[in-house]
């Protein structure tokens, strides 16, 4: 990824964009943070937030006309947050003003003509910038129309006190000045630049261009008049309602322009968002409960402490987080895509020496695309991660552990134990070719056989069989080389059978083929069933009166036709469909996609647990570490609501129906009652309960692939020649709980056999002196497997197995 690409990614994520209140504020006070501090009851911190941006916080905090409130997102639910009243409450009770930071002194002398609020703000900012400032005021006091405000709103004492700040900042104040054209010319000669307060100098004839209403004409973006070095602003009251915060903006604008004028810098550069602008931030108000605005019990006196806290607590702390709300992966790493893009970029960029601290992160995304669907800007984390994985492979810093198990499974599907391409028995050519997929064969071999027979009955011209892998795991791993190889094998086998039309029973294969083998025409098994009718053997009688929830595979997000086909079939089978909230174009992944299950098994387990809605992830990030980005506390509340919002109990109580083999197996492993569509259409046992089938081991899955292959060959009268190494002859006895445990550790029965075979032949074993149990280990490629076992007359009993990837170099003598 290069810098430019990074910028593109970063721009897409709007989480860091300012909230509506701050964007609407002419001087961009961070009202979200201010209100947050007020909600925490920390007035001092709240005051600091105001003082960071506000000139004369003691004045403006009391009198601001708060245009922020009209944009407040809470206002979409009921009344906006009373930001104005909260500011007033804060500055009225703030303990001290705090120090005002002044930059290093500069030599240039700036004159401010007129002590109205705009002029005062210009003076304030210029003093802070280090300039020598002289304020010329026609009357006997600074402040202009500020003196006309009611005492209750802006007490005279406060006003005097705040105005005294200018003197403290070493401004020279000249009161009772004759401000006319002659004085103006004299000041122009004496000073390096000028700011004119239009309110104070209204009606004074100056040799400067005017607007129709007699006000000094200024450039809206910079406040520049038609004379170089002379800037002006203020006077909102002349044209309409007196708007203190707009006066402040114009004074501030003038001060910045003067600084640029002095520095001879680009006057207009980077000032697009000066003043109110439309933020790009999206904030959903879905699920925000109406809470009425707190009314101060003492209307004139403003909020009490308690009232201020209560009112501030109504703030929803605007942020986007749409993707993070629906994705456990994005949530788990405690950031959001903009942050992640930068991290991925850093991880990519450092090839040698420094740390690749985001390797697992990059490889934990399922690539399901849900983020893109819910993102107002279509940010797709999967695309970002996929690209990064390719870079990791290319630059050889991809740890093998992240994908090795899945890629070995792919090798199995490509190998002699499974891969096969044949015409229909008794035929020399095929008009159709069934590609049931490696994973469906792994979980439902009998149903694959029945569905093949169905296709042969219903379709004319011969239906061949192609067993293999579409290469999806290699694609997800960012292994383009391996992906091309696997897909190339499918292509040549298909061509060898006469390039027939392909019937797929896996949405991932379907998607891979249509994207990467467009010349190969393919159609889903479900579409065929819909067209040709339900198979006679279906269990439609089972469905009558029952309802189930369809768990769409994430890969069908952009495939509404398949989703609809499946729903029509399910209804034909007699079931009522109770839709899951995250279905249709919003399904989550089951944890297999993108090989998340391999690179981050713990996360994958939580993801599927979430999807199965059995319970909340036991050790979720929420429980462990409360996150506190802007609005953290609100976000946490939204997260905690998620399970109840998205997974209503009446829905999660249903059996699920999957039409992706991995979804079925992963949901079943999470303890959810779930069946695969193929099991309803082509049941192996009449009146059975496929949803009760439950968990299946990786070893069994491989054996099942062999069963499908064997069945095809048997019908053709062929012998499947498979070379079986000696260790396979070992007979194992494994209790179900042990099998489940070692399967979760991704240890195959075949691995166990290799270890025992080696131990028994070499004699290299350790013995537990108490139990007599043997323990042996063997390094097979990158993994060292350990097995605890005892031998008996009828084979070996396996008590436990575990593994590690760290290599034992040997003992040091």
Partner 1 sequence: MSQTDEAKGWSCAGCGRELEIVKVGFSYLKGNFEVELPACTGCGQVLVSEELANGKMADAERILEDK
Q: Which of 2, 764, 791, 792 binds partner 1 (CB under 8 A)?
A: 764
What are 648's two structure tokens? 């209503």
Residues 6+ apart with CB under 8 A from 577: 547, 548, 549, 550, 567, 570, 571
Segment contacting partner 1 by CB under 8 A, of 33-41, 192-200, 543-551, 763-771: 763-771
Residue 401 within binding range of partner 1, rule CB under 8 A: yes
Nearer to partner 1, 571 or 807 (CB): 807
**At its nearest, how many Å lie between partner 1 and the CB of residue 791?**
11
For the bound state, the minimum distance from the C-beta of residue 768 to partner 1, rounded and expressed in Å, comes to 6
Tell me if 768 contacts partner 1 by CB under 8 A. yes
Q: Among 85, 156, 47, 91, which residue's Cα sits nearest to residue 299?
A: 85
Do 581 and 645 form a contact (C-beta atoms < 8 A)? Answer: yes
- Residue 728 or 768 having the CB closest to partner 1: 768
422 backbone dihedrals φ, ψ, rounded to 5°: -145, 150
Q: Is 358 in the site for partner 1 (CB under 8 A)?
A: yes
Taking CB under 8 A as the binding criterion, the range among 14-22, 226-234, 438-446, 770-778 that sits at the site for partner 1 is: 770-778
Return d(Cα 677, Cα 506) in angstroms, integer: 11
321 versus 752: smaller Cβ distance to partner 1: 752
User: Binding of partner 1 at residue 634 (CB under 8 A)?
Assistant: no
- Strand ranges for 631-704 from DSSP E: 655-658, 674-676
Which one of residues 75, 296, 399, 629 is an interface residue with partner 1 (CB under 8 A)? 399
Partners of 231 in the β-ladder: 195, 224
> Which phi and psi angles does 803 have, rounded to 5°?
-155, 165
Sequence-distant (≥ 6) Cβ neighbours of residue 263 within 8 angstroms: none
Q: Does 686 bind partner 1 (CB under 8 A)?
A: no
CB of 302 to partner 1, least distance (A): 52
Q: Does 779 bind partner 1 (CB under 8 A)?
A: no
C-alpha–C-alpha distance, residues 795 and 756, integer Å: 11
Q: Which of 269, 686, 793, 809 binds partner 1 (CB under 8 A)?
A: 809
Q: Tell me how many residues contact partner 1 (CB under 8 A).
A: 36
Place of tokens 């992240």: 402
DSSP-derived letter for residue 74 is G
Closest CA to 87 of 47, 130, 32: 47
> With binding defined as CB under 8 A, does residue 360 bind partner 1?
yes
Q: How far is the CB of 523 from partner 1 (least distance, A)?
A: 41
What minimum distance in Å lies between the beta carbon of 772 and partner 1?
10
- Interface residue with partner 1, options 285, 357, 650, 791 (CB under 8 A): 357
- Measuring CA to CA, which residue among 440, 326, 488, 309 is closest to residue 707? 440
Note whether 786 binds partner 1 by CB under 8 A. yes
DSSP string, 357-414: TTHHHHTT-----HHHHH-TT---HHHHHHHHHHHHHHTT---GGGTHHHHHHHHHHH
Position 396 contacts partner 1 (CB under 8 A):
no
Task: Write out the two tokens for 208.
Answer: 């400067």
Q: How far is the CB of 747 from partner 1 (least distance, A)?
A: 11
CB of 621: closest distance to partner 1 in angstroms?
A: 17
Judged by CB under 8 A, does residue 805 bind partner 1?
yes
Subset of 525-554 contacting partner 1 (CB under 8 A): none
* Residue 804 in contact with partner 1, rule: CB under 8 A: yes
Nearer to partner 1, 406 or 466 (CB): 406
Shortest Å, Cβ 800 to partner 1: 7
Chosen residue from 220, 298, 763, 794 binding partner 1 by CB under 8 A: 763
Closest CA to 100 of 166, 34, 31: 166
Nearest to 671 by CA among 742, 601, 612, 744: 612
The sheet that has 432-435: what strands, in order across it? 420-422, 463-467, 432-435, 501-504, 522-524
Stretch that binds partner 1, among 194-202, 407-415, 631-639, 759-767 (CB under 8 A): 759-767
**CA 399/CA 514 separation, integer angstroms:** 30
Residue whose entry in the numeric block shows the structure tokens 């409360």: 626
Residue 765 binds to partner 1 (criterion: CB under 8 A): yes
Out of 95, 299, 536, 808, the only residue in the binding site for partner 1 (CB under 8 A) is 808
- Give the residue with the Cβ less far from partner 1, 95 or 618: 618
Query: Residues 273, 766, 791, 792: which binds partner 1 (CB under 8 A)?
Result: 766
Span of 166-174, 354-362, 419-427, 578-586 interacting with partner 1 by CB under 8 A: 354-362
Toward partner 1, which CB reaches closer, 668 or 803?
803
- Point out which residues bind partner 1 (CB under 8 A): 355-360, 399, 401-402, 762-770, 774-775, 777, 784, 786, 800, 802-813
């Amino acid at each position: 990824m290069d810098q430019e690409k990074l910028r593109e990614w970063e721009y897409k994520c709007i989480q860091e964009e300012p909230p509506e209140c701050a964007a609407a504020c002419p001087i961009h006070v961070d009202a979200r943070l201010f209100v947050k501090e007020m909600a925490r009851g920390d007035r001092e911190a709240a005051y600091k937030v105001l003082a960071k941006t506000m000139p004369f916080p003691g004045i403006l905090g009391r009198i601001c006309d708060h245009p922020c409130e009209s944009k407040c997102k809470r206002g979409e639910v009921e009344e906006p947050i009373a930001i104005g009243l909260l500011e007033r409450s804060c500055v009225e009770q703030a303990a001290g003003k705090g120090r005002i930071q002044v930059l290093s002194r500069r030599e240039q002398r700036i004159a401010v003509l007129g002590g109205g609020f705009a002029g005062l703000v210009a003076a304030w900012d210029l003093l802070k910038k280090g300039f020598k400032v002289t304020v010329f005021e026609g009357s006997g006091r600074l402040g202009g129309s500020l003196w006309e405000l009611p005492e209750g709103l802006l007490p005279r004492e406060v006003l005097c006190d705040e105005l005294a700040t200018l003197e403290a900042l070493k401004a020279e104040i000249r009161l009772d000045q004759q401000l006319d054209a002659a004085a103006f010319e004299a000041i122009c000669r004496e000073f390096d630049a000028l700011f004119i307060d239009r309110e104070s100098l209204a009606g004074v004839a100056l040799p400067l261009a005017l607007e129709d209403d007699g006000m000094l004409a200024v450039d809206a973006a910079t406040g520049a008049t038609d004379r170089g070095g002379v800037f002006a602003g203020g006077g909102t009251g002349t044209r309409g309602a007196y708007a203190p915060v707009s006066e402040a903006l114009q004074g501030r604008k003038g001060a910045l322009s003067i600084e640029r004028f002095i520095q001879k810098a680009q006057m207009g550069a980077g000032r697009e968002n000066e003043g109110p602008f439309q933020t790009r931030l999206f904030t959903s108000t879905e699920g925000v409960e109406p809470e009425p605005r707190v009314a101060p019990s003492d209307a004139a006196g403003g909020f009490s402490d308690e009232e201020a806290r209560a009112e501030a607590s109504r703030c929803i702390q605007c942020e986007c987080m749409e993707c993070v709300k629906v994705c456990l992966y994005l949530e788990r790493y405690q950031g959001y895509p903009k942050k992640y893009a930068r991290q991925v970029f850093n991880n990519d960029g450092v090839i040698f020496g420094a740390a690749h601290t985001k390797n697992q992160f990059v490889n934990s995304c399922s690539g399901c695309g849900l983020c893109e669907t819910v993102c107002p800007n279509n940010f797709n984390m999967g695309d970002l991660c996929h690209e990064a994985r390719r870079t990791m492979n290319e630059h050889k810093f991809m740890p093998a552990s992240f994908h090795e198990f899945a890629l070995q499974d792919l090798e199995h599907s490509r190998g002699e134990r499974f891969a096969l391409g044949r015409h229909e028995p008794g035929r020399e050519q095929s008009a159709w070719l069934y590609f049931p997929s490696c994973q469906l064969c792994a979980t439902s071999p009998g149903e694959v056989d029945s569905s093949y027979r169905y296709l042969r009955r219903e379709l004319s011209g011969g239906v061949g069989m192609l067993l293999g892998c579409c290469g999806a795991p290699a694609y997800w791993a960012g292994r383009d080389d391996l992906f091309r190889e696997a897909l190339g094998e499918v292509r040549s086998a298909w061509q060898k059978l006469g390039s027939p039309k392909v019937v797929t029973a896996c949405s991932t294969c379907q998607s891979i083929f249509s994207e990467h083998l467009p010349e190969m025409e393919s159609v889903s098994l479900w579409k065929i069933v819909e067209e040709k009718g339900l198979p006679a053997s279906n269990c439609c009688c089972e469905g009558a009166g029952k309802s189930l929830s369809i768990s769409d595979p994430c890969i069908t997000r952009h495939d509404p036709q398949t989703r609809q086909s499946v729903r029509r079939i399910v209804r034909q089978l007699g079931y009522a469909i109770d839709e899951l909230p995250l279905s249709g174009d919003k399904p989550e992944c089951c944890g297999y996609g993108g090989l998340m299950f391999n690179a981050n098994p713990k996360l994958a387990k939580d993801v599927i647990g979430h999807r199965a809605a059995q319970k909340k992830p036991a050790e979720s990030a929420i429980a462990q570490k409360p996150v506190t980005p802007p609005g953290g506390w609100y976000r946490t509340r939204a997260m905690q609501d998620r399970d109840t919002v998205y997974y209503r109990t009446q829905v999660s109580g249903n059996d699920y129906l999957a039409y992706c083999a991995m979804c079925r197996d992963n949901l079943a492993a999470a303890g959810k009652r779930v069946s695969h569509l193929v099991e309803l259409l082509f049941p192996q046992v009449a009146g059975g309960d496929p949803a009760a089938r439950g968990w299946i081991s990786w070893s069994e899955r491989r054996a099942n692939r062999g069963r499908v292959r064997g069945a095809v060959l048997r019908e053709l009268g062929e012998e499947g020649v498979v070379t079986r190494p000696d260790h396979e002859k070992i007979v194992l006895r494994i209790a179900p709980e042990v099998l489940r445990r070692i399967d979760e550790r991704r240890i195959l029965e075949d691995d166990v056999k290799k270890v025992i075979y080696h131990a028994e032949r070499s004699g290299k074993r350790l013995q537990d002196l108490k139990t007599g149990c043997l323990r042996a280990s063997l390094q097979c490629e990158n993994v060292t497997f350990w097995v605890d076992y005892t031998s008996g007359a009828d084979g070996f009993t396996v008590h436990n197995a575990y593994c590690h990837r760290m290599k034992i170099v040997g003992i040091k003598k």
